[in-house]
Structures are given as C-alpha cells and as structure tokens.
C-alpha cells in the first residue's frame, strides 16, 4: 500500500522486477484500476498534456510506469546483444465497447483510430484482427508511439475530472525472439547463454511460439532443422490504463458522456466478474461479455503474470467508489493461478510454432 506522498519510482520498484519475464518469454500485464480522477493515468504515464506529451515537472520523480518500463525494457534487452528480439508495439483503446486501433494509418485513423474486432484464433490466442503494429528499436521511439496514441484517446470533462479518459487504453509490446529448438543447434543461443538457462529456455520458448506478425525480421535458418528454420517465440507485455469507474450522480454526465459512463462501468463490472470466476475456479468464465475482457483473456486466464494497481481516492465524497474499488482489489487478490507456467516443450503436444 502506497500513501499519498509515495514517489513514482517507489511504485515502479514493484513493477520493475516483472520486466525480465517478457525478455524470457513470459507474458506480463500491468493494469491500473480505480475511480475516475483517482490518478490511474498519472500512475501509468505520469503527468501529461492533451497532446499526449508527458510533462514531468521533476523528470526524475514524476515519470509514470510506462516511460520507466520503456527505458528498463530496452536496458534489459541490450544486456544480451546476441539475442536482441524484434520489439513491436500496438496501441488500442476500447471506447463504448468498441476497439479502436490507434496506430492504424489511414484518413479516419488520424481522427479517432480505426475500428477493429477481437477474435479467438484456432490455437486459442485472442487477437485483434488487422491490428497495426510498429517495430521499435528504442525507448524513445516506443514513447513517441504512445504519445501519438494518447492524442487520439477519447476524453470528456466531468464534474469529477476535467480531463477524464473515456476509454481503456491498452499498449501491447510484443517481443519476438528466435528460440533454440530441441534437436538442433542454435549457435547464437548456446554460445551466449549458460547451459542451464539454454535448456530451460529451449523448453519454455519452443512451446511459447505464436504466429509471427508480418514484418521484415525473419528467423535465421537452422541447419538440420526439419522445417529448415529456427522457431520463434513471442511474449507480450501489456500496459493497461483502464477508464475510471464512475457514479453518474457525482460526475453529472448526460447525453453521449452518460453512454460512455454506462459502457465503462459495464466493462469494469465484466472485468470484476471474470476475476471473481477465476478466483472461484469456475469452469466457465464469461470473457466475451465485454470486449475488454475478451481482449485481455490471455493475460487474465492464461499464463501471464498480472499486476493490478488499484487507485483509491482518499476523499470522503467518493466513499462508495472507494469501497467498490477495494472490492475489486479483493477479487483480484483472490485469483490464485500459481506461478507462471512454463509452456510445454517442443516435443509435447500443444506446442505452437511460427511456421
């Protein structure tokens, strides 16, 4: 629990240790939940202006989780120059239960993003069809894309918060790495990784493969490999700034803003329901009740490491929302899925290969 005077770097200190996981092939999701105006965007992004620019008054202390994650991720990646993954970014917002691609490039996209659909592929992964993604080679390029996405994000003033975000923002960083395959010799792997890590990574990454997105980067051929090419492994790091839960009597919204509020509250209720179902180990989890939970299905119910940050307003005026937020936190905490699992080795059934 962080008090009001806690620094952004202290909060990031609890996120930082998760960042080796996507580099090692595990999915990670960090999301901020809380009522409108409680400081989710501040926590995730730091202070920022309407044009998406991050505005730290004190650059050392004010930066939020996302710019810090960008820096730390690339620092970790560059620690091992012989295994640098391809890093791609996609940014979507879920507004009024519709998904908008904030990196799509066409005339409509310049105003509000392009509407997309989430689908569950045959292999069980949820994906947003036709989603634009951009390769990035540095933290600054990643943050440039985030700023562009923020400019398109839906906002609307309310009585509670003059700069209220009306959509859920989901930034996905995908790391694609050529993996060592069983029965083959990947010289890059074996030359640079300790034996123990190579073998563990082999089993883990070989089963962690997903379909590669289209792009210039391609796996290197592996001599003697039946498919004639190295396997690839993809890990996703998702950074989620949820829209705020809201009591319409307090926020005073009407018309289109009221519809936004209804959609926000419904999707957050669906998220709470999913966490409740997972915590009770129910056989059937209703991910598709909302596009938010459908899109986040892999990180909520899959093998991802999920970190939920709860923002609670200390104001008595918001007591009902405070209790509701704490109830959400209790549900999130009750979800026990054990340690993140290593995917099956490449010789067992159910492996996913990128070919």
Q: Summarize the annotated binding site as residue ranges.
A: 34-41
End-to-end CA distance of the chain: 45
Cα separation, 138 vs 116, whole angstroms: 27
Task: Kindly tell me which of 194 and 327 has the beta carbon lying closer to ligand ATP.
Answer: 327
The residues with which 178 forms a beta bridge, in sequence order, are 232
Output the smallest distance, CB 54 to ligand ATP, in A. 12
Output the smallest distance, CB 267 to ligand ATP, in A. 13
Part in contact with ligand ATP (CB under 6 A); list of ranges 32-40, 76-84, 110-118, 282-290: 32-40
By CB under 6 A, residue 164 contacts ligand ATP: yes
Cα separation, 242 vs 40, whole angstroms: 7
Q: Which of residues 292-311 bind ligand ATP (CB under 6 A)?
A: 311
Cα separation, 271 vs 264, whole angstroms: 11
Task: Count residues near ligand ATP (CB under 6 A).
Answer: 16
Task: Kindly tell me which of 164 and 346 has the beta carbon lying closer to ligand ATP.
Answer: 164
Task: Kindly tell me which of 107 and 316 has the beta carbon lying closer to ligand ATP.
Answer: 316
Residue of 41, 234, 293, 321 that binds ligand ATP (CB under 6 A):
41
What count of other Cβ atoms lies within 10 Å of the Cβ of residue 226?
Answer: 10
By CB under 6 A, residue 47 contacts ligand ATP: yes
By CB under 6 A, residue 38 contacts ligand ATP: yes
Residues in the chain: 355
Q: Which two tokens stand for residue 251?
A: 């926020």
Residue of 19, 173, 243, 300 that binds ligand ATP (CB under 6 A):
243
Sign of CA dihedral 61, 65, 70, 72: positive
Task: Kindly tell me which of 225 and 311 has the beta carbon lying closer to ligand ATP.
Answer: 311
The closest of 261, 275, 314, 331 to 1, measured between CA atoms, is 314
- Collect all residues with Cβ–Cβ distance below 8 Å to 209 and sequence separation of at least 6: 179, 231, 232, 233, 234, 351, 352, 353, 354
By CB under 6 A, residue 36 contacts ligand ATP: yes
- Inter-residue contact 101 to 113 (CB < 8 Å): yes
By CB under 6 A, residue 213 contacts ligand ATP: no
Output the smallest distance, CB 257 to ligand ATP, in A. 11
By CB under 6 A, residue 229 contacts ligand ATP: no
Cα separation, 150 vs 213, whole angstroms: 24
By CB under 6 A, residue 37 contacts ligand ATP: yes
Cα angle 112, 118, 124 (rounded to 5 degrees) comes to 155
Per DSSP bridges, beta strands 305-311 and 231-241 are: unpaired
By CB under 6 A, residue 11 contacts ligand ATP: no
Part in contact with ligand ATP (CB under 6 A); list of ranges 41-49, 111-119, 180-188, 225-233: 41-49
Cα separation, 157 vs 74, whole angstroms: 36
Q: Which residues are annotated as a binding site for ATP?
A: 34-41
Output the smallest distance, CB 160 to ligand ATP, in A. 7
- By CB under 6 A, name the binding residues for ligand ATP: 34, 36-42, 47, 161, 163-165, 243-244, 311
């Amino acid at each position: 629990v962080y008090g009001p005077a806690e620094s952004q770097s202290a909060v990031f200190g609890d996120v930082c240790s998760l960042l080796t996981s996507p580099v090692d092939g595990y999915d990670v999701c960090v999301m901020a939940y809380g009522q409108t105006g409680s400081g989710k965007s501040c926590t995730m992004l730091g202070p920022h202006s309407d044009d998406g620019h991050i505005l730290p008054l004190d650059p050392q202390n004010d930066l939020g989780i996302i710019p810090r994650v960008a820096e730390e991720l690339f620092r970790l990646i560059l620690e091992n120059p012989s295994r640098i993954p391809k890093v791609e970014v996609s940014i979507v917002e879920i507004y009024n239960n519709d998904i908008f691609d904030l990196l799509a490039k066409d005339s409509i996209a310049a105003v509000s993003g392009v509407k997309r659909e989430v689908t569950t592929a045959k292999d069980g992964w949820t994906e947003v069809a036709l989603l634009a993604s951009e390769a990035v080679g540095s933290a600054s390029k990643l943050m440039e894309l985030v700023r562009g996405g923020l400019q398109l994000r839906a906002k609307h003033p309310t009585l509670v918060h003059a700069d209220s975000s009306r959509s859920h923002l989901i930034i996905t960083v995908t790391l694609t790495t050529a993996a060592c395959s069983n029965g083959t010799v990947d010289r890059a792997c074996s030359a640079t990784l300790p034996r123990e890590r190579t073998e563990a990574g082999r089993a883990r990454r070989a089963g962690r493969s997903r379909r590669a997105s289209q792009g210039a980067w391609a796996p290197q051929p592996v001599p003697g490999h039946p498919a004639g090419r190295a396997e690839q492994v993809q890990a996703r790091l998702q950074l989620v700034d949820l829209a705020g839960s809201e009591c319409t009597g307090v926020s005073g919204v009407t018309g289109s803003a009221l519809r936004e509020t209804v959609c926000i509250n419904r999707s957050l209720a669906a998220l709470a329901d999913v966490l409740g179902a997972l915590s009770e180990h129910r056989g059937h989890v209703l991910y598709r009740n909302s596009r938010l939970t459908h899109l986040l299905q892999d990180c909520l119910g899959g093998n991802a490491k999920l970190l939920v940050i709860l923002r609670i307003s200390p104001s008595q005026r918001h007591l009902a929302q405070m209790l509701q937020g704490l109830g959400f936190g209790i549900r999130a905490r009750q979800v026990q899925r054990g340690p993140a699992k290593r995917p099956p080795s490449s010789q067992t059934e159910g492996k996913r290969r990128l070919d």
